[in-house]
Each structure stands twice: as structure tokens, then as C-alpha cells.
Amino acid sequence: MYKYYPLLIAGAVIGLITIIFVVAYALMKNKKESIGFDRTLSDGELVKRLLKYAKPYWKNFILVLLVMIFSISYDIISPLLVGEIQGLIKGDFELNQLYIRVAIYVSILIVSLIGTYFQAIILQKTGQKIISNIRLELFTHIESLSHEQLNHIPVGKLVTRVTNDTNGVSMMFTNIIVNLVRNVFVILGVFVAMLMLNYLLTLMVLCFVPFIVIFTVIFRKFSRRAYRKVKDGTTDINTFLSENLSGIKITQIFNCEDKKMSEFNGKNNQLSSAKKQQIFVFGIFRPLVYLLHITSVMCLFYLGGKGYLEGKEILGQLITSQTIVSFYMYVSKFFNPIQSLAEQFNWLQSALASAEKIFLILDMKPTVVDSENAIELDKINGDIEFKNVWFAYSEGEWVLKDVSFKVKAGQTVAFVGATGSGKTTILSLICRNYDIQKGQILIDGIDIKNIKISSLRKHFGQMLQDVFLFSGTIRSNLVLRKEGISDEEIWEACEYVNASHFINKLEKGLDDEILERGNNFSAGQRQLLSFARTIIHKPEIMILDEATANIDTETEILIQNSLEKMMKISTMLIVAHRLSTVQHADNIILLSHGEIVEQGNHNELLKLKGKYYNLYTLQYKKQELLN
């Protein structure tokens, strides 16, 4: 037995050196990754940022750690009790001694189960609170992003971040962190117990540690890569579904079902391949750890059995059958947490991959933000001025070129021109959906960059060509953010814009349900609801962007009557291709290639016989042909 002693000492020393080396390498690697220029974040940085969300609940986690001490007592003490019971059964013993040890064993087991129960309850409640906070912060941050950023991020990707990825992170707080700590405590506790039980057999177990550490480091590298692919694949599928389910009617109209099915099948196969790679990595790691476990048990039986049969003391310790039984249980409890750590590493990589996706969104800074000295505007008159405004969505590709004009409070100004001339862009810039590159935009003589964005936009009412209605009732869609609006005010607005004539015909009136995107209403009805919604909020400046483009003639007459009434309420800016909509405007601005080429009222522009005259004549002749 003595001849194995130097070999075991050497193996144990190599094991400790391996642990120190691997830990140091991992720390250096994380440090290197964290200062890289790509957008991948190191594990250390991700964990540090996630723990900030847990900080307000630190008392709950301390309580869980205290409960954990009781729950792991079974893992540490039970092998010793089983060994003692085996020793009692082998020799002469009294039943009372056996009853006492069995009673202690059962008591420790019950305490451990109770501790595990309360640990799970506390963790689940705390974890759900943390995830709720992360989800709320993420959604709030997405709301703060600028239009330019939202235009470049698919809706499906954002949905995945708020739902799938936050659920992936929840495992970290409800399971992974505490169980990682628990397993580390169990491993340390079992290791100390084995040292106290027998030095030589403990050194034998320590010889297997270098292999475990090396396998774990390799597994960590490949599993992280695999989980990133799975997350990317999931995001791609969600993005594809979000877009194609919204446009499924177009797919059916153009008979593109097979093509879309083929595209979906491709993305589905990519996700399946990523999942298989993830399973393959995990499928290799766990059997390797189990192989080490079985090998250590075989070595235990060989060395322990040999020492027991020789009956020699080593370092003052005699190997007994009781020692072998207890050590066998300890070896199992030493490797079981390691195998659990493998599974938890599996979940940890999933959680970190999800966290990385979430933080990449949270790290996006809005491109349009309030200036340091931005002011609140409680009331505005409605004077608007563009002073030498230049704007481009992409650098160098100017959409507006040195545009200047004035709009007096209460005036109605219309913007006309060919598609791409910059009409809608002007309306977006006034609301500061984008920031201009050169020039100034003034509201009541104040540069809009010096006004808080939320304060600026609350004075605008926008009616767009594509009216968006939320799922809910007509009432909820009309009042939106404004509280305390009475039914009388709602009906007054509906009658004002001629929307009451079809609402009265509905079975539930204002409480009638609106389906997703208002698909159970016609385009004209949705537009009238949009008008009513705007009137209810009483904006000082109203914006109409092709508000009459997709409606029938009868509804257009209703909307024209509504427009004539609305023109008397506040400043109004209109973009329209139908010149009949803008004939009563105080000023009509004709744009071409981002520049103002003509402006004046309807009669003045006709007298010029320029581009507006040609455009009006063309539409008039077209209307005559249709009639």
C-alpha cells in the first residue's frame, strides 16, 4: 500500500496546480474578451451586470444561503452515518444504537427536504420579481429608441428579447446561481469530510480533478458557442414568423405558400442543427465526467480493499469496511454535484447567451435625446419655422436641401409633390423623430432641440395613411393615454368627425371590440376613428400624412367635411397626393427632389401655371375620365 503513496501525492499536487492554472487562464481570457471591439460580452461582465438586478433582494439570497446550510447537511453527514450503521451491523451492537443513528439519519433527511422546499419557494418568488424588473426595463428602453433604430430592428427580434430571452435569464436567478453555490459547498464539504476520514483515499480522488477541470473548460467554450447559435436561430425564426404571419394574406394572394414554407424550413433546419450541436457538446461532457466517477470508484475499491485486507495503518489511519462504505458514498456525492454542475453550466450558458442579447439592446443609446437644458412646454401657439434645413437618412444622400418656410399659428399648410420629394420627412422632423444635420426647426421661436421630446410630441396629433388600432375596445383606442375623458366628450369628438354614424350601428357602440390592427373595420372607418382620437386629445398642431389615400369617395366626403372643421381648431400640416384635399389650405408647398419649387394658395399656384398647375390639370383630367 505504501508504494502508491508517492504516486498519489504527485497526482494531488498536479491536480492543485492544474486548478490554479486553469482559473488564472480563464480570468485572463475574460479580461481580454471584455476589452475587445466586437459586441460579444465576457461571462464575467454578463454575470456582474445581472447581479445588479439581484442587489435589491440580497436579503432573500442571504436567507436562501442560510437555508441551504441545513439542506446540504444531509449530503455531508449521511455517508458517515451509513458507515457507522454498517460498522454496527458487522459487529456486536445494541438495537438502541442502531435506532439512534437511523433516527438521526431520518431527521437530517427531513431537515434537508424542508430546507430545499423553502429554498425553492424563496428563489422562485425572488427570481420572478427580478425578471419582471428586467422585462419592464427592456420594454421601457425599447420605447425610448429612436425611429431610425426601430426601423433597422425586426419586430420579431425585439419580441424574442422581451419574452424568450428574459425567460432564459430567469433560470439564472431561480436555479443556476444558488445551485452552483450549493454544489460548490457540497464538493468542499465532502472533500473536507473525506480528508478527515482518510488522507490517502482523498488524495486518490484529487488525482481526477485535473481531468474534470480541463473537460469543464473545454465544455464551457464549445457550449457557449452552441448556445449562441441556438439563440440566433430562435431569433431568426421569431423574426420570420412575426413578418410573415402579419403578411400571410399577401402570401396567399400571390400563391407564395410553397416559397415561404421553403424559407421557414431552411431557418428551422438551421435551428435544428444548432440544437443538435448543443446536445452533442453536452452529450460528450457528461459521460466523460461519469467515466471519471466510475474510474475513481474502481480505484477506491482496489486501494481500499487492498488496504483493508493488509490491515496496515497508513498515517495512523486504518482502512476499515466502514471507511470504504462511507468513502464510496462520498465519491458519489463528490461527482454527482460535478455532473450537476455540467447541467447547470448548460443552463448557465443559455442564460448568459440570453443576457448577452438583452444587454446588446439595452446598450443601444437613442440617437434622438433631450439636450441637457431641454425645457417643458405646457402650451404652444403653433408657429412653425424651417430655417435652411438639410437632412439625410444616410450620409451624403440628402432628402431635404436647404428647406425654409414659415407656418403661422392656426394656418393650414399642405405639402405636395412626387413620391420621395421629402413631404413625409418634413412631418417626421417637426415631431423630432429624426434630428436634422444642418439648419433649425423652430416651434413658437424655440429650437425643437431645446424642448423635451415628450413635451414636444404631446402637442401634436398625427393621422397617418396606415392607421394603427390596438386590440381592445373603440373607447380604449380613442382615449389612449388620456385619463378622465367622459363618454360625452368621446361622442362629441366622434360626431365632429362623422365617425358616430357607423359607431351607432354597432351592437356595443364604444365598447365594441377591435381585432388586431383593426382588421374588422374598413380603411375609412379606421381613418375616422383616427380623426376622433386626435380631436379628443386636443393637439395644438395636427399632422395628416396621406390620410385620405386609401378610402372610398363616400368616406372621403365625410373626411373632407371633418377636415374643414378641424382646420379651424389648430395649426394643420397636410401631406396629400389628392389635390382636392388641400385646395382650401392657406399655403401649399410643392417639393421636388428635397427642394421647395413653388408655394402659395391654390388659386395663386394655378395662376403661375407651373408644376402645381400641371399636376392639378393631370389629376382633373384623370377624374373626368373616371367619371
Q: What is the pLDDT of residues 111-141, one digit of tens each?
A: 888 888 888 888 888 888 998 999 999 999 9
Q: Look at residue 354 and tell me whether its pLDDT is greater than 60.
A: yes
Side chain identity at 343, as an amino acid letter?
Answer: E
- For residues 85-114, give the mean pLDDT: 75
Average pLDDT over residues 563-585: 77
* CA–CA separation, 373 and 451 (whole Å): 8
- What is the pLDDT averaged over residues 155-161? 83
**Residue 312: is its pLDDT beyond 70?**
no
CA distance 101 to 43: 45
Residue 337 and residue 298 in contact, taking contact as beta carbons nearer than 8 Å: no
- Between the ranges 70-84, 297-311, 432-446, where is the mean pLDDT highest? 432-446
pLDDT tens column, 494-508: 888 788 888 888 888
Give every CB contact of residue 186 below 8 A, 6+ residues apart in sequence. Answer: 72, 75, 76, 333, 337
| Per-residue confidence (pLDDT) for residue 405, from 0 to 100 | 94
Which amino acid is located at 179 in the chain?
N
Q: Can you give the pLDDT at residue 619?
A: 74
**Equal CATH topology for 2-362 and 380-459+574-627:** no
E strands, 317-454, where?
317-318, 384-394, 397-407, 412-417, 438-443, 446-447
Burial class of residue 123 in the structure, from the number of CB atoms within 10 Å of its CB (0-12 exposed, 13-18 middle, 19+ buried): buried
Lowest model confidence (mean pLDDT) among 87-101, 118-132, 572-586 = 87-101
Q: Are strands 541-545 and 571-575 parallel, antiparallel or unpaired?
A: parallel
Residue 338 has a pLDDT of 73
Residue 1 has pLDDT above 50, yes or no: no
Report whether 146 contacts 428 (CB < 8 A): no
Predicted local confidence at residue 301, as pLDDT: 72
Rg from Cα positions in the chain: 36
Determine what percent of the chain is predicted with pLDDT higher than 90.
13
Lowest mean pLDDT among 285-289, 305-309, 545-549: 305-309
Mean pLDDT of 305-310: 61
Tell me the C-alpha distance between 497 and 5, whole Å: 95
User: How large is the angle between the packed helices 73-90 and 321-362, nearest 10 degrees?
Assistant: 170
- Across the range 319-325, mean pLDDT stands at 74
Amino acid at 375: I
* Residue 314 host element (H or E): strand 313-314
Q: Average the pLDDT over each of 152-161, 310-319, 335-344, 561-570 and give the range with the smallest value.
A: 310-319
- Tell me how far CA of residue 521 lies from CA of 262, 367, 448, 553, in angstroms: 33, 36, 37, 17
Answer yes or no: is pLDDT of 404 > 90. Answer: yes
Q: What does the domain layout of the chain look like in residue ranges?
A: 2-362, 380-459+574-627
- Across all residues in the chain, what is the average pLDDT? 79
Query: How high is the pLDDT of residue 481?
Result: 64
β partners of residue 543? 462, 573
pLDDT digit string, tens, across residues 50-89: 889 988 998 888 888 888 877 787 778 877 777 777 666 6
Q: Does residue 389 surpass a pLDDT of 90?
A: yes
Task: Say which range, 210-214, 229-233, 549-553, 578-582, has the weakest mean pLDDT.
Answer: 549-553
DSSP tag of 421: S
DSSP 208: T
CB 386 within 8 A of CB 441: yes
Which pLDDT tens digit goes with each residue over 173-227? 887 877 778 888 888 888 888 877 777 777 777 777 777 777 777 777 777 778 7
The confidence band for 4, taking pLDDT boundaries of 50, 70 and 90, is very low
CATH superfamily of 2-362: ABC transporter type 1, transmembrane domain (1.20.1560.10)
Q: Domain 380-459+574-627 falls in which CATH fold?
A: Rossmann fold (3.40.50)
What is residue 597's predicted lDDT score, i.e. its pLDDT?
Answer: 93
* pLDDT score, position 278: 79
Quick check: helix, strand or coil at residue 35?
coil
- Cα separation of 450 and 76, whole Å? 66
**SS3 state of residue 572:** strand
Q: Bigger pLDDT: 43 or 149?
A: 149
**Average pLDDT in the 386-402 region?**
91
pLDDT-derived band of residue 159, with 50, 70 and 90 as boundaries?
confident
Q: Rounded to whole angstroms, how far apart are CA atoms 298 and 195?
A: 19
Euclidean distance between CA atoms 390 and 404, whole angstroms: 10
Question: Residue 461 has what DSSP assignment?
Answer: E
Q: How confident is the model at residue 489 (pLDDT cuts 50, 70, 90)?
A: confident
Q: How many residues does the chain have?
A: 627
Lowest mean pLDDT among 92-96, 116-120, 273-277: 92-96
Answer for the pair 389, 402: CB distance below 8 angstroms, yes or no.
yes
Band (pLDDT 50/70/90 cuts) for residue 35 is very low
End-to-end Cα separation, the chain, in angstroms: 110
- Report the number of secondary-structure helices (H) and strands (E) in the chain: 23, 14
**Cell 482518510 sits on residue:** 198
Query: Is 112 within 8 Å of 72 (Cβ atoms)?
Result: yes
